[in-house]
Structure 1
Amino acid sequence: MAAGSIVVDFPSMGAALCFPSLESLLRDSASGFLAAVSAAPAPGAADLTNFHRVFSRVLSGYPDPPLEAVWFFSALTFHDRPDDLRSLLQLLSAFAASSPGAAKPLALLAPVVSELFHSDKTRRETEALVEAVLSYISICCSRPAASSTDGASADAGTLLPAFGELVKVWSVRHSRDRCPFQVLFPLAGEEARRELMKEGCSVEYLAGVVMAEAFLLRLCLKVQNATGVPRSELQKELTIWSVSSIPVFQNKQFFGVLLNMLLNSPLPVYSLLSADDEILVRDVLYDSLILVDYSFINNGGAVDQADSSLLPIYLSRLVITLDAVNEARRKGDQGRAMSFINAFSTSSVPSYLIKWATCQAGFGAFSKPIANTPQALLKWLVDLEDKGIKVFGDNGSWIKGRIIYDEVKNGYGNRMIHSDADLFFIDKPSGGEVMTKGSENGEAEAMETTGNAFMAAAQSMKVVANGIRKRKGCGNEDAAAVKFVKYKVEDSSVKDYLSAANGMSSGSEVENPQSDDEMEESD
């Protein structure tokens, strides 16, 4: 970001004002914008001419303009032509053309995704614009990673403290009563919004949130457009689309945001889908995030300083696997539960977590978990917390307290886990009966309760809001003119999945007539 003072002219005031930094200019301009909009006799009637002149000059002084300045200028332009989302997308993509990395161009799209969510356009037009956004995202994600002169990532920047004021500017059209972050990031979920409100949030994280919102919005539109399609067939088609799209984005922040959405069920789609449809989308995400070991996440279990960001992702995968297993069991689908357990046990997650813990404590300091099942691995990690290894950060003591509470509540106490055999079960060919070594009824029930207890405890793992800037009104609620290239499936693990799922697609209306067909042709 720019340093030093900024002098700007305000012709109507007959004076030139000096601002000590871009930060102060943005704060004062955002305050003036909100005051002008509030005082206007009608929506869109505010006179913003001075702001246009000022920020046109400010932006012209940057070869790669700061995200916050671009957001404010685009808000001025959009205020003059409300609902012209095609022009807004073109404007933001033009400003991002000179950016060396992918994060800032993606982060800039947040207002477009928000406006699409709040838009009253026809479904066809909305779908076309969402497809354009996803195509643009795929272009940005295909860029080679850029580095600055000191070797750091070109996307390693953080948002200015004035970012919150820019959020207010973009949210004022839709609500002045709700938290601005809820308005601008309607599909992000409470966890992601808390992270965005922190001082010094990274541009990369904002980009991941925007990608996850666009991805989830497209899934919701596909569900809305699939009236009359059998649920089982619809789930298969949506899963194929999801599994094909995730590796195109190949973004760890995006993957982590999707995981956190599942950790905090229900998904933030209540204004778009019914409760039954929300369950359908959640099942699609379970299949997409658990059953496929994506190469951009799978690092072969290597553990080093550069991969430290993978720890929260792998812990989240562990937790949502338990969630998915328990939900499948509640529905009586033991085959699906076993699929999740097998996929997790053979994935890179157990080896990574074991190696990570070994690096923390030293080789040979403790025995390895008795199995690679999610139940066994989570119990092992909780035991490590008791031995002083900080696995779950500030949430460790709460998790252990919750597990003890669940043990007492269910009347099992210290009987919950007796031996290694209690953590294994065999799904009979009929798919109906679960068998364990030992007593057939009591131990099976104990094993089920163990999984539920660990899942319930770990599911509520949330980032402690240290350093969060509290903002007024922020509670815990929860044929296009722009055309980009088609998606392209690169990930070999996805091709394996699609090969195994051959014949699952029925060609129903859930498939987009342009991009989805093109994606299939590209395979």
Structure 2
Amino acid sequence: MAAGSIVVDFPSMGTAFCFSSFESLLRDSASGFLAAVSAAPAPGAADLTNFHRVFSRVLSAYPDPPLEAVWFFSALTFHDSPGDLRSLLQLLSAFTASSPSAAKPLALLAPVISELFHSDKPRRETEALVEAVLSYISICSSRAATVGDAGASADAEKLLPAFGELVKVWSVRHSRDRCPFQVLFPLVGEEVRRELMKEGCSVEYLAGVVVAEAFLLRLCLKVQNATGVPRAELQKELRIWAVSSIPVFQNQQFFGILLNMLMNRPLPVYSLLSADDEILVRDVLYDALILVDYSFINNKAGVDQADSSFFHTFVSRLIITHDAINEARSKGDQGRAISFINAFSTSNVPSYLIKWATRQVGFNQLSKPVANTPQALLKWLVDLEDKGLKVFGDKSSWIKGRLSYDEVKNGYGSRMIHSDAELFFFDKQRGGEVMDAKSSDDEEAVEMETADNAFMAAAQSMKVTANGIRKRKGCENEDSTAVKFVKYKVEDSSANDYFMSAANGMSSGSEVENPQSDDEMEETN
């Protein structure tokens, strides 16, 4: 018998089978499960007794069972009592109580999110279950900040090649001839699904996908439940919730996946929301991802300057800020466009990308962008790409095409590089800064130097100080270990103060403090 082989007895069949590896056991078991379910005379009537027995033994053999084994066993259990999502959540969480990984407990929740999406339960019950999932995610996320080297190495674990077969097992109840990955991951785009399909995809990435889907599902449910609420009031409530939630999760992969969703419009919520509601949610995400600098991104980026994942995150932030500015301009909302420009220009994104390019090309061997605005920085990086520096990877043609389209659409021409700065112009007679839409030909003739000076002056004048806002440098220890499985709740006054100051498009791009830990919230209630 080959090393690493697995012998499995099937007493009811009076035989035993030898599998060359755990991988082959998973593949054959998944194939047998799908065959049994397909041949069953009615839904839920398949005899899965042998599979239960085998995987009970497999799970008992591991102090920390593989994700794929837990997924298969939980699929067997859920098949016997479909619809009992609370029991499924409890089962999945029980298997990770001793896991050193911070990502694995989150990654295991993917079937729960999928079943909630496809569920026909009453809205109130669905919302309660989503809150329970978010509560569990918040506890796992606070734990993620305290794990040591063992947890870090476990988070680098890769999904087995048989992961795709497990996706089929979990999606069979809702497949309807669709791609199994589309069924199991309904709230992410095609690009994210392709990443999940790649051999060697990390458990950490899957965890980020799960958090992003849970976050987006809760946003959609909030919109569905807001019938009759004025649009402006709803948008303010949603962005306060979003800004308060993001630092609770402290998940870079989740943050990057949200950015990816915004780059590949529309958001994958078409089966949950109307087109107008999708625009509302997109605007909320623009506010949450652009106007606030989060310490869990900035602090790690400062340490891991060479980390490619941080580079892609910062490039994505640049692109969505560029898109958000163009959308605001198209609606005639120059104040909102200026708030995005100001937040971006005072963030650490420009300095990070400039330092990255300098390391690639060499110090003093390239000129810096004329300004720290999104338009100027994006044009600068495109020029570097044309000179041979790999910046955007396989998105290069797409980025250049979008930039060219914006150039023609907005009439920037050869002056596109400083179009952001031209949102500001200087009133020489009054000697003050004036904000203007600049639509006439005479106004567009203002020279670059004057516009740049006015941009910097106006950006400085727009900085505000609000109660509850503080710089990350002065923060105390933000991480806390949750000791109770309490209901997920976000009521962060600092986020409310922040958006009160930003309501008129006058955001300074300042950072908001992280919301309270679960323990702190329970003490204050």
Same fold (TM over 0.5): yes
CA distance in 2, matches of 1:20, 1:184: 29
Contact in 2 for aligned 1:106/1:140 (Cα 8 Å): yes
Indicate the larger mover: 109-118 or 390-399: 390-399
Change (3 A) 1:421 1:269: closer
| Offset, 1:169 | 0.3
CA distance in 2, matches of 1:86, 1:375: 48
| Offset, 1:225 | 0.8
| Offset, 1:65 | 0.3
Pairing 1:286–2:286 present: yes
| Offset, 1:416 | 2.2
Match of 1:308 in 2: 308
Match of 2:196 in 1: 196
| Offset, 1:520 | 10
C-alpha deviations, 1:85-118, integer Å up to 9, x for none? 0100000000011111210000000000000000
Match of 2:57 in 1: 57
CA distance in 1, matches of 2:53, 2:274: 46
C-alpha deviations, 1:371-404, integer Å up to 9, x for none? 0100000011011112221111233355346645
Change (3 A) 1:60 1:271: same
Match of 2:237 in 1: 237
Match of 1:121 in 2: 121
Change (3 A) 1:228 1:352: same
CA RMSD of aligned residues (A): 3.1
| Offset, 1:166 | 0.3
Contact in 2 for aligned 1:422/1:436 (Cα 8 Å): no
Match of 2:326 in 1: 326
| Offset, 1:487 | 4.5
Which amino acid is 2:93 matched to?
S
| Offset, 1:180 | 0.3
CA distance in 2, matches of 1:422, 1:28: 58
Change (3 A) 1:320 1:411: closer
Match of 2:24 in 1: 24
Pairing 1:425–2:423 present: yes
Contact in 1 for aligned 2:375/2:418 (Cα 8 Å): no
Match of 1:370 in 2: 370
Which amino acid is 1:257 matched to?
I
Match of 1:211 in 2: 211
CA distance in 2, matches of 1:307, 1:495: 33
User: What secondary structure is seen at the aligned counterpart in 2 of 1:352?
Assistant: helix
C-alpha deviations, 1:247-298, integer Å up to 9, x for none? 0001000000111111111111111111111111111101100000001111
State the number of aligned residues: 467
| Offset, 1:308 | 2.9
C-alpha deviations, 1:116-147, integer Å up to 9, x for none? 00001111110110000000000000113534
Change (3 A) 1:381 1:440: same
Contact in 2 for aligned 1:158/1:203 (Cα 8 Å): yes
CA distance in 1, matches of 2:316, 2:297: 13
Match of 2:317 in 1: 317
CA distance in 2, matches of 1:418, 1:282: 25
Contact in 1 for aligned 2:291/2:340 (Cα 8 Å): yes
Match of 2:359 in 1: 359
| Offset, 1:426 | 1.5
Match of 1:485 in 2: 486
Change (3 A) 1:351 1:35: same
Contact in 2 for aligned 1:233/1:504 (Cα 8 Å): no
Match of 2:147 in 1: 146
Match of 2:414 in 1: 416
User: What secondary structure is seen at the aligned counterpart in 2 of 1:363?
Assistant: coil
Change (3 A) 1:68 1:97: same
Contact in 2 for aligned 1:188/1:268 (Cα 8 Å): yes
Match of 2:477 in 1: none
CA distance in 2, matches of 1:184, 1:416: 46
Which amino acid is 1:258 matched to?
L
C-alpha deviations, 1:217-247, integer Å up to 9, x for none? 0001111111110000000001101100000
Pairing 1:385–2:385 present: yes
CA distance in 2, matches of 1:239, 1:267: 16
CA distance in 2, matches of 1:232, 1:335: 16
Match of 1:475 in 2: none
C-alpha deviations, 1:138-161, integer Å up to 9, x for none? 000011353456x95321001000
Unaligned stretches of 5+ residues in structure 2: 427-431, 448-483, 504-516
Contact in 2 for aligned 1:236/1:504 (Cα 8 Å): no
Q: TM-score, normalised by structure 2?
A: 0.82
Which amino acid is 2:147 matched to?
A
How much identity, in percent, do the aligned residues show?
78
User: What secondary structure is seen at the aligned counterpart in 2 of 1:417?
Assistant: helix
CA distance in 1, matches of 2:149, 2:498: 42
CA distance in 1, matches of 2:138, 2:223: 22
Contact in 1 for aligned 2:423/2:436 (Cα 8 Å): no
Unaligned stretches of 5+ residues in structure 1: 445-482, 506-514
Contact in 2 for aligned 1:421/1:436 (Cα 8 Å): no
Which amino acid is 1:146 matched to?
V
User: What secondary structure is seen at the aligned counterpart in 2 of 1:435?
Assistant: coil
Q: TM-score, normalised by structure 1?
A: 0.83
CA distance in 1, matches of 2:420, 2:112: 51
Pairing 1:501–2:515 present: no
Change (3 A) 1:36 1:62: same
Change (3 A) 1:236 1:431: farther
| Offset, 1:354 | 0.7
CA distance in 1, matches of 2:361, 2:216: 39
Change (3 A) 1:383 1:271: same
Higher relative contact order structure (alpha carbons within 8 Å, sequence separation ≥ 6):
1
Match of 2:261 in 1: 261
CA distance in 1, matches of 2:68, 2:416: 57
| Offset, 1:423 | 3.9
CA distance in 2, matches of 1:410, 1:504: 28
Alignment of 1:118-197 (within 5 A): 118-143=118-143, 144-148=145-149, 153-197=153-197
User: What secondary structure is seen at the aligned counterpart in 1 of 2:7?
Assistant: strand
Contact in 2 for aligned 1:426/1:436 (Cα 8 Å): no
User: What secondary structure is seen at the aligned counterpart in 1 of 2:17?
Assistant: strand
CA distance in 1, matches of 2:207, 2:494: 28
C-alpha deviations, 1:290-322, integer Å up to 9, x for none? 000001111386364663321111111101101
Change (3 A) 1:311 1:419: closer
CA distance in 2, matches of 1:61, 1:341: 56
Change (3 A) 1:257 1:339: same
User: What secondary structure is seen at the aligned counterpart in 2 of 1:77?
Assistant: helix
